[in-house]
Structure 1
Amino acid sequence: MRTPPEARYDTDGHYSGDLTGYRIGDAYELIEPIGGGGTGTVWRARALKSEEFVAIKLLREDLMAEPKAVNRFVQERAILLMLRHPHIVRVRDLVTVGTSLGLVMDLVEGGSLRDYLHEQGTLPPAEAALLLAQIAEALSAAHRRGVVHRDLKPDNILLDRVDGELHTRLTDFGIARVLDTPSMTTPGALIGTANYVAPEAVYGGSPTPAADIYALGVVLFELTAGRPTYAGGPAWAILRRHVDESPRPVPGMPEAVWKVVQECMDKRPGRRPTARELAVTLRVVARRVADEPALPPQPVDDRLTTIQPPVPRPRTSPSRSRSVLLAALIVLGVLAFPAWQYITRQHGTETAADPHVTAVPAVPPASGGPAPSPHAAASRGAARTDDKSARPSLQPGAHAEASDAFGPWLCGNEYTWDIGHPVLAQPCHAVAPDRIRMVGRMQSIPGVQADVSMSVLDLDTGGLVDGPHDCDGLMFTDLAPKHDCGPFEARLPRGHRYVVVQKWVYTGRALLPRGEVRGLEFDW
């Protein structure tokens, strides 16, 4: 029996170690990877006793240290064991693979509904209605058990053939919610994929079965038109249209199909049909439109590609900032994030006398001993500060004298978000008669990892005079949304003007831009 090699992940966070041929006890043998996502990889495998092929979904090993990720993984198994339905992928087993977990499920060979739609362009209305009637029946079974899927989309609908006809299987209950039980999601978090999010969920409303019905209406539109109702443009614009606008019919869409789309996408959740009602309606619609041909794929609505992003303003109202920030973070593909923390931090009721300066106390290390040397603190992870007493407070306008000859911390503004940066970063410095001290504060959404560095630039010459001091692999999670890089100390030449620079690179997210923010300029 092979032992699993050291875990390795590519730039998208997918497992890149070779587990081909690895046997899980005397039960399964991994054959080849057939899919993957942000939480792990799906493998084709063989059941050794029955010679039957199965699918095994492996949780990324680095997520084993994240309690919420493990809990969601185990919850998915519990939900699928509870939901026995011909149109829901069946779970068979929970296994350990090296230091990770694996879900053993039915192997569905026909690919996803997304793959099928890409091949076909659009589907005949009758076929679309029949396929989604099956999914509505699966949702009805889930809703009766108090389970809301929360991420219904073509990617999570698998296809196989039964007696020569397409047969759907609903999968990926990893972020499903069991009603009337404690939620594992951060309160106020936005869950789902932008094209399919119900308007009430954009504002962090509690999940209900009606949200799944809304998403199914979007999918029905997409199967017949070749695009989602609000496809095109940035995700924040798509979310805004879910809230502010209603879908428009496309030429040639049968009236019976369009009526179902309208009913499912009603802005009022209570006016949407139940899953059981929808399943019956879709089968009736399929008979009515049996002779209707597939429409040509529809172009993206031009209105969606010409919207300009909002210009960030320092005193935007909290309600507007909430929706804009939620949408910006969706662009990053993050399924859940504690957005309310950012709103209160960015738009508190207090303001400093000088909006560009936050003065806070410089405090010595918690031990009371000398500050760590830059070289020691620059080792991997060593510069993270979890002791709140060692951090500069971020309360505006706070002042205090340090006990070790350093003046107060002087901090620049927190990094103003823009699309592509899911972090708030804030470089700070404090001065003593013979040296300066610097620290970089960071706060981010769960699931982001970054390598951070701190440096000092001479503004007179443009040259680097100290650093970079590196803090590698800062991992932001629900339990650890904040990290410090530093503090570091430096002795600088006198008679110059300086600035502390904080830089970061997102680890495992190659598409995200690097970040840089400068602190306050100071004379030394």
Structure 2
Amino acid sequence: MRTPPEARYDTDGHHSGDLTGYRIGDAYELIEPIGGGGTGTVWRARALNTDEHVAVKLLREDLMAEPKAVSRFVQERAILLMLRHPHIVRVRDLVTVGTSLGLVMDLVEGGSLRDYLHERGTLPPAEAATLIAQVAEALSAAHRRGVVHRDLKPDNILLDRVDGELHCRLTDFGIARVLDTPSMTTPGALVGTANYVAPEAVYGGRPAPAADIYALGVVLFELTTGRPAYAGGPAWAILRCHVDESPRRVHGMPDAVWQVVQQCMDKRQSRRPTARELATTLRAVARRTRDDPALPPQSIDERLTTLQPPVVPRQRTSPRRSRAAFLAVVLVVLALLALPAWHYATREHRTDAAEGAHATQAPAAPPPTVASPAPAAAPSRNPTAPRAEGNSAAPSLQPGAQVEGSVIFGPWICADGYTWDLGHPLLARPCHALATDRVRMIGHMQGIPGVQADVTLSVLDVDSGRPADGPHPCNGLMFTDFAPDHDCGPFEARLPTGHRYVIVEKWAYTGRALLPGGEVRGVEFDW
């Protein structure tokens, strides 16, 4: 057996040493590299006892010092050993190669579905439906065992020929997760490829089979049109479309294909078919469209090339930053995030949110999830505005004011800007709004990806220094690349009059015992 060559890496961290002819024990001999990815290189190898050619996926040696990478690599073997299906690449063995690990798998010679699509431009609807039906059947077997792939795309679908017909083989379960087991990715982190990510996964939602179905809908659209449903713009624009937009039908796409795309890419997970249902439907679609020709390749979606990143109003001392700028910075450093997240959960669950809730007195924008009514003590600027029912003493509504039941609150009055102590990975900004008989409070937080914190809001009597209300807890707030902002609240308090108060926002980091918590105060007010 040869001594492993000295490990060398190129600028991407891939192994650049010559492993040709290297023998793995008395079982396999490496022949030539045939592919690679973010976690390692795939080699063609020969089984010494049978002369059969196999594929060996080698984990990058520099990742061997990363426990998560090693665990994920070993998990791929464990998952694939569970999954025996004609449309899933079979894993045969887990081996050590010098100081690295290797997965021995079936060698699939036909390249990837991505390669095939590049050669053809687009596929006839019947052929596309047949190939995706095979992948759906593979997913059905995986989902029955509680396994979600989480990175479905044409690159991870390999092709070979069986009896002269194209045969799909699903591979690369490296970031798959067995349901109901602890994830080995950062909690709340976005996993997958932007073009194929389901809307519920944009903010690190818990993986579910429906996310794989969504991705298959995107792939079906891509095979028949030559491009994904959302393509051509920066990653933030693509992700935004997954959350806020709907795919546009391409002229000439058969009704049967379009209906499947719509069902798979439904924003509501419960409306998407199961993998088994999808496979059955696609087989029927293939029969119905067997005489339909392939569409000409479509150009990229112009919406994404002209879509402007949203700009967040800031104090004069704080520059405006767009989502695009933020994502670019995150790729270089763990920058503090400075834009509001267009939160999918807000869209679907926070039905009490009020759009256009911008503070009319504070220079910075208040939270998008809470209304900003007019102050009780302010004179009326609109004598014709309605009054709250049952509250004859309530003031008339000002621009930006809203009625909450029978209570009118004033505009949000916030701290001058997001502040934090030196070295903190979180920024905080407490705000309050006043009514005739109560105070509403909310705390905004922005943080770098991977930070989790327990947050509390309290009302403090400025003169005595004693708490007047609270603390109100918001535990386990997780900040990710695409959920950089969180709100704690709103909460309401009835306070004794004749005092001066301030909203205090405190936080303690979860799982970071060496990093002390922080505290920020809002604007003081008389009550």
**TM-score, with structure 1 as normaliser:** 0.64
In 2, distance between residues paired with 1:394 and 1:183? 23
Show the 5 A alignment for 1:47-446. 47-311=47-311, 314=314, 324=323, 328=327
Is the CA contact 2:187–2:450 (under 8 Å) kept in the aligned structure 1? no
CA displacement, residues 357-406 of structure 1 (integer Å, 9 cap, x when unaligned): 9776xxxxxxxxxxxxxxxxxxxxxxxxxxxxxxx667889xxxxxxxxx
How far is 1:13 from its partner? 2.2
Larger Rg: 2
Show the 5 A alignment for 1:9-24. 9-24=9-24
Is the CA contact 1:59–1:102 (under 8 Å) kept in the aligned structure 2? yes
In 1, distance between residues paired with 2:283 and 2:326? 35
Is the CA contact 1:186–1:338 (under 8 Å) kept in the aligned structure 2? no
Cα distance change, pair 357–255 in 1 and its aligned pair in 2 (3 A): closer
In 2, distance between residues paired with 1:166 and 1:160? 6
How far is 1:260 from its partner? 0.3
Cα distance change, pair 341–105 in 1 and its aligned pair in 2 (3 A): farther
Q: Which runs of 5+ in 1 are unaligned?
A: 361-391, 398-415, 425-443, 447-478, 484-524
In 2, distance between residues paired with 1:88 and 1:333? 36
In 2, distance between residues paired with 1:445 and 1:233? 21
Q: Per the alignment, in what secondary structure is the counterpart of residue 169 of structure 1?
A: strand
Q: Per the alignment, in what secondary structure is the counterpart of residue 283 of structure 1?
A: helix
Is the CA contact 2:89–2:170 (under 8 Å) kept in the aligned structure 1? yes
Q: Per the alignment, in what secondary structure is the counterpart of residue 57 of structure 1?
A: strand
Q: Which amino acid aligns with 2:120?
A: Q
Q: Which amino acid aligns with 2:228?
A: P
How far is 1:175 from its partner? 0.2
In 2, distance between residues paired with 1:206 and 1:330? 26
Is the CA contact 1:188–1:340 (under 8 Å) kept in the aligned structure 2? no
CA displacement, residues 272-293 of structure 1 (integer Å, 9 cap, x when unaligned): 0000000000000000000001
In 2, distance between residues paired with 1:86 and 1:77? 17
Q: Per the alignment, in what secondary structure is the counterpart of residue 77 of structure 2?
A: helix
Q: Per the alignment, in what secondary structure is the counterpart of residue 258 of structure 1?
A: helix
Is the CA contact 2:189–2:450 (under 8 Å) kept in the aligned structure 1? no
Is the CA contact 2:77–2:94 (under 8 Å) kept in the aligned structure 1? yes
Q: Which runs of 5+ in 2 are unaligned?
A: 342-364, 368-413, 429-446, 452-478, 482-510, 516-527
In 2, distance between residues paired with 1:82 and 1:339? 42
Q: Which amino acid aligns with 1:285?
A: V
Is the CA contact 1:83–1:141 (under 8 Å) kept in the aligned structure 2? yes
How far is 1:7 from its partner? 1.4
In 1, distance between residues paired with 2:108 and 2:174? 18
Q: Which amino acid aligns with 2:52?
A: E
Fraction of identical pairs, as percent: 78
Cα distance change, pair 101–232 in 1 and its aligned pair in 2 (3 A): same
Cα distance change, pair 359–168 in 1 and its aligned pair in 2 (3 A): closer
Q: Which amino acid aligns with 1:92?
A: R
Q: Which amino acid aligns with 1:156?
A: N
In 1, distance between residues paired with 2:3 and 2:120? 42
Q: Which amino acid aligns with 1:173?
A: F
In 1, distance between residues paired with 2:268 and 2:480? 30
Q: Per the alignment, in what secondary structure is the counterpart of residue 168 of structure 1?
A: strand
In 2, distance between residues paired with 1:153 and 1:220? 10
CA displacement, residues 70-124 of structure 1 (integer Å, 9 cap, x when unaligned): 0000000000000000000000000000000000000000000000000000000
Cα distance change, pair 246–296 in 1 and its aligned pair in 2 (3 A): same
How far is 1:231 from its partner? 0.7
Q: Per the alignment, in what secondary structure is the counterpart of residue 212 of structure 1?
A: helix
In 2, distance between residues paired with 1:277 and 1:396? 47
Is the CA contact 1:112–1:159 (under 8 Å) kept in the aligned structure 2? yes
In 1, distance between residues paired with 2:174 and 2:244? 29
Q: Which amino acid aligns with 2:97?
A: V
How far is 1:310 from its partner? 3.5
How far is 1:312 from its partner? 5.8
CA displacement, residues 426-459 of structure 1 (integer Å, 9 cap, x when unaligned): xxxxxxxxxxxxxxxxxx999xxxxxxxxxxxxx
2:498 aligned partner: none
In 1, distance between residues paired with 2:40 and 2:135? 25
How far is 1:5 from its partner? 1.4
In 2, distance between residues paired with 1:161 and 1:228? 25
In 1, distance between residues paired with 2:90 and 2:329? 30
Cα distance change, pair 358–40 in 1 and its aligned pair in 2 (3 A): same
Q: Per the alignment, in what secondary structure is the counterpart of residue 174 of structure 1?
A: coil
How far is 1:315 from its partner? 7.2
Count of matched residue pairs? 368
In 1, distance between residues paired with 2:480 and 2:279? 38
RMSD: 3.9
Is the CA contact 1:188–1:339 (under 8 Å) kept in the aligned structure 2? no
How far is 1:36 from its partner? 0.4
CA displacement, residues 190-217 of structure 1 (integer Å, 9 cap, x when unaligned): 0100000000001211010000000000
How far is 1:311 from its partner? 3.9
Q: Which amino acid aligns with 1:135?
A: V
Q: Per the alignment, in what secondary structure is the counterpart of residue 44 of structure 2?
A: strand
Cα distance change, pair 70–333 in 1 and its aligned pair in 2 (3 A): farther
In 2, distance between residues paired with 1:161 and 1:331? 43
Show the 5 A alignment for 1:33-44. 33-44=33-44
Q: Which amino acid aligns with 1:228?
A: P
In 1, distance between residues paired with 2:208 and 2:326? 21
In 2, distance between residues paired with 1:203 and 1:221? 24
How far is 1:14 from its partner? 1.7
**Which structure exhibits the higher relative contact order, with contacts defined as CA atoms closer than 8 Å and separated by 6 or more residues?**
1
Is the CA contact 2:186–2:450 (under 8 Å) kept in the aligned structure 1? no
Runs of at least 4 residues of structure 1 off by over 6 A?
Answer: 337-344, 352-359, 393-397
Q: Which amino acid aligns with 1:125?
A: P
In 2, distance between residues paired with 1:212 and 1:263? 13
Cα distance change, pair 51–325 in 1 and its aligned pair in 2 (3 A): same
In 2, distance between residues paired with 1:203 and 1:108? 34
In 2, distance between residues paired with 1:356 and 1:274? 45
Q: Which amino acid aligns with 1:328?
A: L
How far is 1:301 from its partner? 1.5
Is the CA contact 2:58–2:102 (under 8 Å) kept in the aligned structure 1? yes
**TM-score, with structure 2 as normaliser:** 0.63
